[in-house]
């Protein structure tokens, strides 16, 4: 790229700047110059490889790396290789924020792929918003966010609950026990659930939250016994999912009479707990590993060939994989000198691809994804049997629980 005098002045280094992460860095005002300068495209990969949510985040890391390797093996993006810079934020929101600052300010990544929990996404959000960088977030989450610096490729409540909750009420009944991990995601997700329950004349017999990493569920299980709910609605995450299912099974409770209905239990957690502990319970998600499509067959085969024949794919690793391919499609539309977080956001709006779950699309208004909700029942072989699939992709409505607010391209609007 040729630098004119004006461009050169715009790109002048402000020497001696020190970042919030505590290390000196070179601040280049025209950031697109920094992103194009190396002839490679640096991205951050920020999933926990240790700590309580490593049980799921390690697989998100692997799906992200797989997609990057596939793109690089096929020639990169317009001849440029993607260079992943990997950090382990150790399941700790403060460490997520520290590593995000390093990736954005120190390494000059043009985007970062990361996070499972909403707590960690909330922790890094100020970094991406302040520095006008871009975070690709693959996880199902509670909605109620309208950032122009995040691409959201996991399901929001309307995409997991709108079909699931009425289906469960009809099949099992109206007395619900809500159990979640104690942070923002389960609480907001349960607010949405309570709205749907109220509309159907159903009731919450008990609502409770356990600390992240909680592993002793005997008093919870005693309450299941005494309350005898029709449905146990679980938004427990991480290692706790395994403990809850195993202890439910060990207590001799019966999923045919009192099933757990989860928004967070995937093939990944089932692999950790063993198929027998999960069998009979239900999950709503846009993707299950058994989904039949050529794109999914390719994904599963590639994942297993790269990471091991016994590995599973699931509804958070699948968006971790397809969002890197969407990133590639967006960057491909740009010339090398124009690559920046800002231009990537514009280029990804309305972008579509056939993902393993089906055709997905980034909604330009709110930067969330159109997805294909499904209801699955856990089987003892560790897979899910898909009982219901939406007939059309479902629009993401991150503010559906808050009818007076809507996320638009111009920002959050009160209506």
Footprint of ligand ACM (CB under 6 A): 117-118, 139-141, 185, 237, 264
Whose CA is closest to 128, among 159, 162, 103?
A: 103
Nearer to ligand ACM, 140 or 344 (CB): 140
In a 13 Å sphere around the CA of 349, the CA atoms on its Cβ side amount to: 12
Nearer to ligand ACM, 63 or 71 (CB): 63
Nearest-CB residue to ligand ACM?
A: 185
Nearer to ligand ACM, 141 or 172 (CB): 141
How far is residue 402's CA from residue 413's CA, in Å, rounded to a whole number?
11
Nearer to ligand ACM, 137 or 172 (CB): 137
Q: How many CB atoms lie within 10 A of CB 303?
A: 23
The CB-of-237 to ligand ACM minimum distance in angstroms stands at 5
Nearer to ligand ACM, 140 or 369 (CB): 140
How far is residue 165's CA from residue 202's CA, in Å, rounded to a whole number?
10
Q: Which residue has the tokens 């990361």?
A: 114
Buried b (16+ CB within 10 A) or exposed e, 74-108: eebbeebbbebbebbbbbbbebbbbbbbbbbbbeb
Distance separating the N- and C-terminal Cα atoms of the chain? 46
- Residues 112 and 73 sit within 8 Å (Cβ to Cβ): no
Nearer to ligand ACM, 77 or 100 (CB): 100
Collapsed DSSP state (helix, strand, coil) of residue 184: helix
Helices (H), 131-252: 157-161, 164-172, 184-199, 218-227, 239-250
The CB-of-361 to ligand ACM minimum distance in angstroms stands at 21
């Amino acid at each position: 790229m040729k630098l004119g005098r004006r461009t050169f002045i715009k790109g002048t280094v402000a020497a001696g700047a020190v970042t919030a992460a505590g290390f000196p860095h070179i601040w280049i005002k025209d950031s697109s110059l920094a992103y194009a300068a190396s002839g490679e495209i640096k991205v951050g990969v920020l999933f926990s490889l240790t700590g309580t949510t490593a049980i799921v985040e390690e697989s998100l890391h692997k799906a992200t790396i797989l997609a990057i390797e596939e793109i690089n093996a096929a020639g990169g993006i317009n001849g440029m290789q993607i260079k992943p810079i990997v950090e382990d934020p150790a399941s700790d929101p403060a460490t997520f924020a520290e590593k995000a600052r390093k990736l954005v300010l120190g390494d000059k990544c043009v985007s970062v792929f990361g996070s499972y929990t909403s707590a960690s996404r909330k922790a890094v959000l100020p970094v991406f918003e302040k520095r006008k960088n871009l975070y690709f977030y693959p996880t199902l989450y509670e909605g109620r966010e309208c950032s122009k610096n995040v691409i959201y490729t996991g399901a929001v409540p309307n995409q997991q609950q709108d079909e699931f909750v009425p289906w469960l009420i009809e099949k099992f009944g109206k007395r619900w026990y809500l159990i979640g991990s104690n942070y923002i995601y389960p609480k907001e997700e349960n607010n949405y659930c309570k709205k749907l329950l109220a509309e159907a004349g159903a009731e919450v017999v008990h609502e409770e939250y356990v600390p992240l990493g909680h592993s002793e569920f005997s008093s919870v299980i005693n309450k299941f016994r005494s309350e005898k709910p029709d449905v146990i609605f679980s938004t427990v995450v991480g290692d706790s999912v395994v403990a809850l299912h195993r202890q439910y099974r060990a207590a001799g409770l019966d999923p045919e009479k009192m099933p757990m209905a989860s928004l967070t239990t995937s093939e990944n957690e089932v692999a950790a707990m063993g198929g027998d502990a999960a069998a009979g319970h239900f999950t709503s998600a846009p993707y299950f590993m058994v989904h039949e499509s050529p794109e999914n067959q390719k994904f599963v085969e590639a994942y297993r060939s790269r990471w091991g024949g016994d590995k599973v794919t699931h509804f958070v690793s699948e968006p971790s994989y397809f969002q890197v391919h969407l990133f590639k499609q967006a960057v491909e539309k740009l010339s090398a000198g124009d690559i920046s977080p800002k231009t990537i956001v514009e280029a990804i709006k309305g972008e579509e691809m056939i993902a393993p779950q089906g055709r997905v699309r980034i909604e330009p208004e709110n930067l969330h994804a159109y997805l294909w909700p499904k209801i699955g029942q856990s089987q003892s072989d560790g897979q899910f049997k898909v009982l219901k699939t939406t007939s059309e992709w479902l629009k993401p409505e991150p503010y559906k629980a808050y009818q007076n607010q809507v996320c638009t391209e111009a920002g959050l609007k009160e209506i």
